[in-house]
Structure 1
Amino acid sequence: MSLKGIFTTIDKVRRDVFTEVAKFAYEGEDYNDLEQIPFNIIPGEIASHRESIFLERAIVGERVRLAMGLPLRKVSEHAALSTGIDEETVANTIYKPPFVNIIKFACNSCPDNKYFTTDICRGCLASPCIEVCPKNAVSMVNGKSFIDQEKCIKCGRCKSVCPYGAIAKLERPCAKACGMDAIGSDKYGRASIDYEKCVSCGVCMSSCPFGAIADKTQIFQLINEIKSGGKVIAEIAPAFVGQFGPKVTPSKLRAALLELGFYDVVEVAIGADLCTIEEAEDFMSKVPEKLDFMATSCCPAWSVMAKKQFPEFKENISMAMTPMVFTARFIKQRFPDTKVVFIGPCVAKKSEATRKSVKSHVDYVLTYEEVMGMFEAKNINLEEIEPSDKMNYGTGAGRGFAVSGGVAAAVADVIKKHHPEMDVKIDSADGLKECKNMLMLAKAGKRNGYLLEGMACPGGCVAGTGTIQPVKKSTANVNTYKKNAEIQFADESKYADLLEKMDDSWFDNWHIEKQI
């Protein structure tokens, strides 16, 4: 279960860290001053949530390091909070893996995949839990059902037959949420990530109730870029609508970003429209003559998962650039001397930005939460700021990419518009486990002729780890913004002709890398 949409103590600490790191980037000069940040966030002498205030501050300290783009410190060795910071680190604009990290001493070593009898048990005469257990692991102790963990094989039969629902299955929340089965346990029972399996979707971060998982950010590096006087253009993903509060209109958000020092703000919906057009053309030219089905490419975590676990479908994943890259390419064609920062809901985009064919176009990736820390650090009142010109670049189709099903619907609409006789069959899945199931159906030949859409985050991009608002509210906001767009079809975008103007060799390089 994701904790997205519920503002918890973890969210407060997380956002306080972003704000403090942003303040340090704006005002600080001495890296030793970083040592003060945990005390600013966790003041006083008595712990509020853990057994020791020193532990609380130590965890915040590691979050500060990650927010500076630095790796975690080794628990077994002494090191100052600023250890590892040098001129190269400050100037580095590319993330270094791992992107998603577990702060070991914040982990509660949660039991994983175990069955326990709760106090709800009535000690019933029928005792079906005892009768169905194939290993005699269940017995009556003091009038209550008891499960011997040494004998239990975790089959779950006892749970399924209990008339009172008194038997609970305990799972590590982060492992349960991980659609890649990438989370296991170290020798101390703490969570660990198998980075060969991990696709950096960040869903585990939203599911850990102890706040033990955090990602790296580029807040510090981006602010230094802006302070240096360089031109930085923000490209903002479609899920932004309503993220910063119900009264913060797109025009106010644009004004606030300009106030932070951005040179301009562009909707990623532009790139989504271009992605739609290219995927529609690919589908029409390849399915079913060359490919049994085609899958969309805009979610990097989904496409990496598909290629890792279903390598036979490598060619079926669309070769179209993602909206982030399309938009960045568009910006750098027009303003070649600028830096581009993608602002969105997604942790996986941080990984995507390190690809050889992407990093020369996307210089920084920040989430909405991280940008909110910049607003807080500069005391910018988003609700009261004077609105700027409208962000009126994207079509309704491009804006709809933010919600589950929106990508496939946009592509299908373009196909049907030009070929109304075509029956475009669609299947979409959100959450990597559901995405796997969809591909299993494709493997069985049950999705031939289909356009498949995969999203790593349950609910789509509006449910990304870096979002601020509840998923249902965000979905409604995006749908309204989509409906109010002046143009609805992607192929009617005034930027549609950019596809013909982009350099062919650049596309070839992109396609080659996407196939590896």
Structure 2
Amino acid sequence: MREKYINFNEKRMYIFSELVRRYWNGDLKSAEDLDDLVRDIVDKYGFADAEIPFIKDHIRLAMGLDPKGNEAFGHELTIIKNAGEISHPIVAKLDGPCEHCEEPNCECSDICRYETSIYRRKGPVIVNDKCLNCGHCVSSCDFGAIADKIEFMPVIDLLKDSKVPVYAAVAPAIAGQFGDDVSMGKLRTAFKLMGFKDMIEVALFADILTIKEAFEFDNLVKSEEDFFLTSCCCPVWFNMIKKNYPGILEHMSPSVSPMIASGRILKKLYEDARVVFIAPCIAKKAEAIEQDLKGAIDYVLNFRELKEIFNALNINLSELEPDYKDQASFGGRIYARTGGVSFSVKTVVNRLEPSRVIMLRAKKTDGVKNCKEILDDLYQGKKVDANFIEGMGCPGGCVGGPRTNIDVHKAAMMVNEFGEDSLIMTPFDNLNVMKILKHLGINSIEEIINNEEIKKILSR
């Protein structure tokens, strides 16, 4: 019995790929078709009839729906077809597999001790208002007891509607995630084959936010006692501060993440556009539907899911002709790894005021434990030898996210190489930034912090 649950994350991806293949080809039209999929999965992996509710719930989660236990399939396909968004909670606990899990093989007691109350009582208990949605519990659970919703089923309907322009906004960490011979140009071709209007580098919007944060740092940090917390990129870092350290929230930039900026700006530039963000993590799924941010990004997919989608649709990336566009700077592209934000902002700060007395001194930290330690020090008033604090919830930064396809060290190397390939060194040199700002009614770079329209777009 226990063996069937081992390595369930891979089995879960098979469930998802079958959903994609059948729905894309028009073979999923009714509850009976979903029941046929259940029976095929049960037969393939040798699950018992008593375990069918568990399989059904994984199918529901792979469709972007909430688990419902023993309830029969009904209107799931209709709900997905009419869904405007995926709802909270993103991460769910499923009944069944925990009773077959044997200590000390289970890591539930260790996974979230730095962030929220997840602990063993016949499996983990998730306290949703405290959970940071970092996703490490999902990737660490080998039994499929914890899983996140997958958001591709509604995207299929969008891609098949020729009247709807759908853009794939890809996180900078995507470089190298699909093979050494798969360039960003080949990925753009693949997205277009699927029906996307285009693939956009979110690093371009990181460039815009870098300039904004450089101006903010310049305005805020005037003495040795001042410090600046950057909120760019990582919702885990932002939510740690918001939920647990309200006393230092005033030192944080009000900027949205590059993901949110990409969605808001693309929808300003292209009428009726829909935006799908391609991420290395699970936390971005939760960020996209936060109350003050929702509407910018329609759906979020991660690298692991995208790999399964390409396989299900028989898209061989290495054989595609590349379609290249140089959109972002070196600085914007290295946002994907620890220290990238600090480097990028510093290059612009130095350009804004080369002779400033208080220079930017960065402190880079990654991983929930390390982030918590530095926030504890700041909250308690301890001296930190830095005035620009960059936090990333995953070890190594976004390249170490729980839904990446390659090792974190190789991923960081690939991101650096992709950054070095750019013809644009810093965000300040990116002419694409100025083109976008002019479309939004801004004629000088200084207006980025004074113009009410762009402030509304780039701020929480």
Verify same fold: TM over 0.5.
yes
Distance 1:380 1:99, change over 3 A: same
Tell me the secondary structure at the aligned position of residue 193 of structure 1: coil
Q: Does 1:353 align with 2:273?
A: no
Deviation at 1:58, TM superposition (A): 4.5
Give the partner amino acid of 1:431.
G
Residues 388-438 of structure 1, C-alpha deviations (whole Å, 9 max, x = no match): 2x1310111111011111111211222123434443211121111211111
Structure 2 distance, partners of 1:29, 1:171, is: 40
Deviations 1:309-366 (A, max 9, x none): 0011122221112111222223222212211111111211111111344332211111
Residues 57, 96 of structure 1: alpha-carbon distance in 2 compared, 3 angstrom cutoff? same
Aligned pair partner of 1:70 in 65, 72, 77: 65
Aligned to 2:359: 423
Q: Is the 8 A contact 1:266 1:391 kept in 2?
A: no
The one-letter amino acid paired with 2:94 is: I
- Residues 55 and 381 (structure 1), Cα distance of their counterparts in 2 relative to 1, 3 Å cut: farther
1-structure distance, mates of 2:78, 2:223: 54
Query: How far off its partner does 1:289 sit?
Result: 5.5
Residue 325 in 1 paired to residue 260 in 2?
yes
Cα distance in 1, alignment partners of residues 217 and 158 from structure 2: 41
Question: CA 1:376/1:93 → structure 2, altered by over 3 Å: closer, same or farther?
Answer: farther
Residue deviations 1:358-396 (CA, integer Å, cap 9, x gap)? 3322111111122223212211111112222x1310111
- CA–CA distance in structure 1, aligned partners of residues 273 and 362 of structure 2: 39
Show structure 2 runs of 5+ residues with no match: 1-5, 442-450
For 2:246, give the aligned amino acid: P
The residue aligned with 2:448 is none
Partner of 1:216: 149
Distance 1:453 1:500, change over 3 A: farther
* 1:103 aligned onto 2:94: yes
Aligned twin of 2:378: 442
User: 3-state SS of the aligned residue for 2:431?
Assistant: coil
Residue identity opposite 2:30 in structure 1: D
C-alpha deviation, 1:37, in angstroms: 2.5
Q: CA deviation at 1:500?
A: 6.7
Give secondary structure in 2 for the equivalent of 1:183: coil
Instruction: Give the equivalent residue in structure 2 for 1:261.
Output: 195
Given the alignment of the two structures, is residue 392 of structure 1 paired with residue 326 of structure 2, yes or no?
A: yes
Asked whether 1:79 is paired with 2:71, we answer yes
Contact map agreement 2:289 2:295 (CA 8 A) in 1 = no
Under a length normalisation based on structure 2, what TM-score does the superposition of the two structures give? 0.88
* Whole-angstrom CA distance in 2 between matches of 1:92 and 1:228: 15
Distance 1:310 1:419, change over 3 A: same
| Residue from 372, 375, 383 that aligns with 2:318 | 383
Match of 1:302 among 234, 237, 255: 237
1:491 equivalent in structure 2: 428
Amino acid corresponding to residue 407 of structure 2 in structure 1: P
Question: Cα–Cα, structure 1 residues 86 and 30, in superposed 2: closer, same or farther, change >3 Å?
Answer: closer
Structure-2 residue corresponding to 1:478? 415
Partners of 1:42 and 1:409 in 2: how far apart?
A: 51
Contact kept? 2:101, 2:143, Cα under 8 Å:
no
Query: Which amino acid in the other structure matches residue 379 of structure 1?
Result: N
Secondary structure of the 1:496 match is helix
1:175–1:506 distance in 2 versus 1, CA, 3 Å: farther
Distance 1:473 1:61 in 2: 36
Q: Deviations over 1:119-175 (max 9, x none)?
A: xxxxxxxxxxxxxxxxxxxxxxxxxxxxxxxxxxxxxxxxxxxxxxxxxxx595244
Q: TM-score, normalised by structure 1?
A: 0.79
1:453 to 361, 370, 390: 390
Q: Distance in 1 between matches of 2:105 and 2:195?
A: 45
Match of 1:93 in 2: 84
Deviation (angstroms), 1:439: 0.9
8 Å Cα contact 1:260-1:375 kept in structure 2: no
The letter of the residue matching 1:182 is S
Q: Which runs of structure 2 are paired with 1:8-87 in the superposition (5 Å)?
A: 9-26=7-24, 27=26, 28-44=28-44, 47=46, 52-54=47-49, 58-74=53-69, 78-80=70-72, 82-85=73-76, 87=78
Once residues 500 and 318 of structure 1 are traced to their aligned partners in structure 2, the CA distance between those partners, rounded to angstroms, is 24
Residue deviations 1:52-77, cap 9 Å, x none? 54466554432211111111113xxx
C-alpha distance 85-38 of structure 1, shift in aligned 2 (>3 A): closer
Alignment equivalent of 1:196, drawn from 121, 129, 141: 129
Give the 3-state SS of the residue equivalent to 1:434 in structure 2: helix
The structure-2 alpha-carbon separation of the partners of 1:511 and 1:271, relative to structure 1 and needing over 3 Å to count, comes to closer
Change (3 A) 1:369 1:417: same
161, 182, 185: which one pairs with 2:117? 182
| In structure 1, distance between residues paired with 2:225 and 2:88 | 34
Q: CA deviation at 1:79?
A: 1.2
Percent identity of equivalent pairs: 33
Q: Counterpart of 2:425 in 1: which secondary structure?
A: coil
Kindly state the Cα deviation for residue 180 of structure 1 after the two structures are TM-superposed. 0.6
Q: What SS is found at the alignment partner of 1:185?
A: coil
Shift of 1:303: 0.1
Tell me if the contact between 1:294 and 1:452 (Cα under 8 Å) persists in the aligned partners. Answer: yes
- Counterpart-to-counterpart distance in 2, 1:339 and 1:387: 24
1:207-248 Cα offsets, whole Å, 9 max, x none, are 223232110121110001111222111111101111112221
Q: How does 1:112-123 map to 2 (within 5 A)?
A: none
Paired AA for residue 410 in structure 2: K
Tell me how far apart the structure 2 counterparts of residues 360 and 405 of structure 1 sit (CA, whole Å): 29
Q: Which amino acid aligns with 1:14?
A: R
**Is this contact kept in 2: 1:174–1:205, CA < 8 A?**
no
CA distance in 2: counterparts of 1:348 and 1:431, whole angstroms? 14
CA distance in 2, matches of 1:36, 1:472: 42
Change (3 A) 1:374 1:429: same
Deviations 1:270-299 (A, max 9, x none): 111111111111111101459831111121
Q: Equivalent residue for 1:231?
A: 165
CA distance in 1: counterparts of 2:307 and 2:298, whole angstroms: 19
CA distance in 1, matches of 2:132, 2:194: 31
Q: What is the CA–CA distance in structure 2 between the aligned matches of 1:191 and 1:295, rounded to whole Å? A: 32
CA, structure 1 residues 311+109, in 2 after alignment: closer, same or farther (shift >3 Å)?
farther
Q: Is the 8 A contact 1:175 1:182 kept in 2?
A: no
CA distance in 2, matches of 1:357, 1:290: 33
Task: Please say if residues 291 and 316 of structure 1, whose CA atoms lie closer than 8 Å, have aligned partners that are also in contact.
Answer: no
Aligned residues: 437
Structure (1/2) with the larger helix percentage: 2
Which position in structure 1 is the counterpart of 2:447?
A: none
